Structure 1
């Protein structure tokens, strides 16, 4: 008769390679999630409880034009048009984007106003 070798004991799979892969994925996603912070736009406003004083400062953003208190304006002269309406750079300026306005246009206007020294922009619907 044939003499077969005794059956081997079954080995359990090792978990070390799987733990290494999970750790590498964790490190990758932790590092990759930090890249989006540089492009953030800050809209720091006083919120609902803040005091509002002075003349109205409402900028309405349309897809093809900008209005300041209902009067059509240009982005290049918008900071100069806001200067007589504000008493200090931390006066709130209300931004309202109308339907059809894309986020890039809103970001462009926010960056232009922030560069001009207006640091309290409030975005409303």
Structure 2
């Protein structure tokens, strides 16, 4: 009596392709769902919402394509803080900011961030 054993089959290697696909899909999902960087928020008031009458000298900062103006007088970003400090009694006095048509949002935000860094906390955005 003779037994014949079957030829041993080579081991099948599992396919890693489906696992790699799932890992890449998870990577794409988390990259799209993640928040990169910090979101900044600006405390803005819209002109016309004030409950009291305006007091003190005018403090209008106009951001134009050709430069910055305070009450119609040209100024530079470095001299903006000094010029406004002469017009305000405290840093909580309101400062009106108006950006002309065509001025980029980033430029407006840069000027506002500079004023906030200088200590001016009461910024009011005026529509052009």
The reply to whether TM is greater than 0.5 is yes
Higher helix share: 1
2:58 to 56, 59, 64: 56
- Give CA-to-partner distance per residue, 1:56-114, whole Å, 9 cap, x none: 00001012300000000100000000011111111110000001100111011001100
Q: Does 1:90 align with 2:92?
A: yes
Residues 119 and 69 of structure 1: is their aligned pair in 2 closer, same or farther, counting only changes over 3 Å? same
Gaps of 5+ in 2: 1-25
| Structure 2 residue aligned with 1:113 | 115
SS in 2 for 1:39: coil
Instruction: Please give the alpha-carbon distance, in whole angstroms, between the structure 2 residues aligned to 1:62 and 1:91.
Output: 23
| Structure 1 residue aligned with 2:76 | 74
- Contact 1:60 1:96 (8 Å CA) reproduced: yes
Structure showing greater Rg: 2
Gaps of 5+ in 1: 1-23
- Give CA-to-partner distance per residue, 1:15-53, whole Å, 9 cap, x none: xxxxxxxxx9xx969x63x557x3324133386124331
Instruction: Please give the alpha-carbon distance, in whole angstroms, between the structure 2 residues aligned to 1:59 and 1:68.
Output: 5
Residues 61 and 53 of structure 1: is their aligned pair in 2 closer, same or farther, counting only changes over 3 Å? same
- Contact 1:94 1:124 (8 Å CA) reproduced: yes
Instruction: Please give the alpha-carbon distance, in whole angstroms, between the structure 2 residues aligned to 1:65 and 1:42.
Output: 22
CA RMSD of aligned residues (A): 2.4
- Using structure 1 for the length normalisation, give the TM-score: 0.67
| Structure 2 residue aligned with 1:12 | none
Residues 104 and 92 of structure 1: is their aligned pair in 2 closer, same or farther, counting only changes over 3 Å? same
